[in-house]
Structure 1
């Protein structure tokens, strides 16, 4: 995954790091690129320091596209962000507002997941755009990146984007099918996706691979499980009775038939 590093003096650079890299391994990558000793580096995401070198960077919410503050001994201390953030979300699409309590290091993607849960899928994470003022919030960024006020109160507007309309051709029926939002869970992480109810499970696999989700452990295969049952990749999500807001799990390995 690509992670951007920024220094208080205005320098920025991007490195590709392994999704399961430890904080130390991330610092070693920075050291190899910039010649900065690991012991001299401090990394921050959304005002929170990645202070345990042995932990995976993902533990601190580092994702594809994340932006980390790189602090060196001669740099000024990072600006403090409120530890807790209360997000007031106005949602014209559902005719009401939603208030959520999060931490400053929580990502925008996490906020969208909570909104989907709180609204029973009325604000699907895969199609909801969030705005602070006129700026659209980016999934990989932390709430602290949007400078919440000292009292920790943020005002956000949610806009639900409609799926593209079908334009002629033989795929019209497929394009007009019912869309549902599901969570695909792998390990401790979950990603919201929008899929067609009549898509086969194999289509879900294509979407997972298109997004380059880090689902393979050691480069092997993987399979999908819904409600503790292995999913048939040639059957549709509707056949498996997958509904809006449901969770589909990914497990590493292969499934073989019985004798």
Structure 2
């Protein structure tokens, strides 16, 4: 029987106080995992703890900046001492800055690269030695359709997510021999509170132009939901994916397979 259970596993999902990270962590908890998450400040961590509690999940929240290597090392040591060795790591923490490239400062570009690419490198590097010692491990990097495609105003984000795709493949190449599987999950356009204004109907029932654009580009003809990511994430975290390594699983309703409707 295929084993999708996460019973007895400890899962760290970075930046999982809300949104996609929260949905993935919730799915892991429902599959039996113990949930650990971090966020950049106490307010967000407390918000996350309250949200997990509301769902009946006893999560463990910590304040940690994923770009601070020394801080991450202390964080992983603390989690290992207080809860146990991390079996599953989801590098979810990330930001996007929508600025035309010619208007973007190098400092703004570096900030996106630092959080979205250096962060996963730093956290993965901290957990991999423990996974090697334990004899197994699952690392899931939250990639993006921008790991494959470009789009106006997201030069830094696309550069980071493209790099994260290749970091995923390299972790697979370097540590597969230690029974560590590193894969990516690439969400499509997901309906979250942050994207709600883009999906509001006009007083005449008309769609927002961006909403119409996404529906037209998606064979499924809808936005995804955070719950659409639950099954794929549990699969990549479970023993069901023990021979899946270096793969990016796009959960995008078919956007990347589709050239779009003829005007």
- In the superposition, the TM-score normalised over structure 1's length comes to 0.25
- Structure with higher Rg: it is 1
- In the superposition, the TM-score normalised over structure 2's length comes to 0.24
Q: Which has the higher strand share?
A: 1
